[in-house]
Structure 1
């Protein structure tokens, strides 16, 4: 009976960690290449979004209500920031972002022009995929409500030859 109590405690602790602290997330598409590839496994911590500790440049996971799935993108701007995309470059608060992580080094404007030049509303963030030519992000779906963010990527543990802390 003693072993049963230990197993039950381990299960409860595991459940609490996955529910409130961190979880494994699988990358499903190419929208974050070259930083992340399909099949990469990440550890995503869930506390930062809840306590307002997200920063520009963080890789976040959020729930896309239009596609009923989780998306992984880079946080580009926070509430109150002005975002403009012009001539293939991203500007936040009038300053060009230095983005050595993006694929092809070019950012096309989105299909919805209202999201290419805007002030990020209160309680929202502006996100872009690193593979700008192949990403469903704020250029097409608009700013993301912070309440839809489920976590921040902190560690890639697979594939083993690409282990990395973010």
Structure 2
């Protein structure tokens, strides 16, 4: 009976250890939970939202990414507006990338509180350097983003925001 108990304990310990190793590998290489801080992505994300970030996603235009800030030790979450080599222009709140006009439906709520003929985003014209991304917050009037610190290195990207798991009532895939 004692020998059987020892085998069972070792079996349990082995299973628990294997689960911990798998969890650590997944968290380090595949995905990680992140807490959103600040209001730069409102209304898409609010402060204290908890999200899952995929570390293996191919980053595309308009993805929401978490990256290491180039000006502090913090991680930021912003939306990718420009990819390497893109020519970006915003004039009178109209986004043009490489000569093509893009609709930004995620700005609708923030634009709705503006007075007539007031712009949410100041006019700009830039070209994204090779190996870089141009990122902006959805809350354009209150966002520390590429308009302030320039394009970010693709190497600074932690991953893409894939799923919000808190608060419970807003759980799901962010848009």
1:58 corresponding residue in structure 2: 63
Structure 1 window deviating more from structure 2 (25-34 vs 3-12): it is 3-12
Does 2:11 align with 1:2?
yes
Counterpart position of 1:125: 133
Q: What is the number of equivalent residue pairs in this alignment?
A: 157
The TM-score, its normalising length taken from structure 1, stands at 0.88
1:115-135 CA distances to partner (integer Å, 9 max, x unpaired)?
x32111111111110000000
CA distance in 2, matches of 1:95, 1:157: 35
User: What are structure 1's unaligned runs of at least 5 residues?
Assistant: 111-115
Q: In the alignment, is the contact (CA less than 8 A) between 2:70 and 2:152 conserved in 1?
A: no
Q: Which runs of 5+ in 2 are unaligned?
A: 1-9, 112-118
User: Does residue 78 of the first structure (1) align with residue 91 of the second (2)?
Assistant: no
Please, what is the CA RMSD of the aligned residues?
1.5
Larger Rg: 2
Asked if the contact 1:26–1:42 (Cα under 8 Å) also holds between the matched residues in 2, the reply is yes
Q: Does 1:96 align with 2:106?
A: no
How big is the shift at 1:104?
Answer: 2.2
Over 6 Å off, 4+ runs: none
User: Does residue 157 of the first structure (1) align with residue 162 of the second (2)?
Assistant: no
Residue 39 (structure 1) aligned with residue 37 (structure 2): no
TM-score, length basis structure 2: 0.84
Q: In 2, Cα distance between the equivalents of 1:72 and 1:31?
A: 8
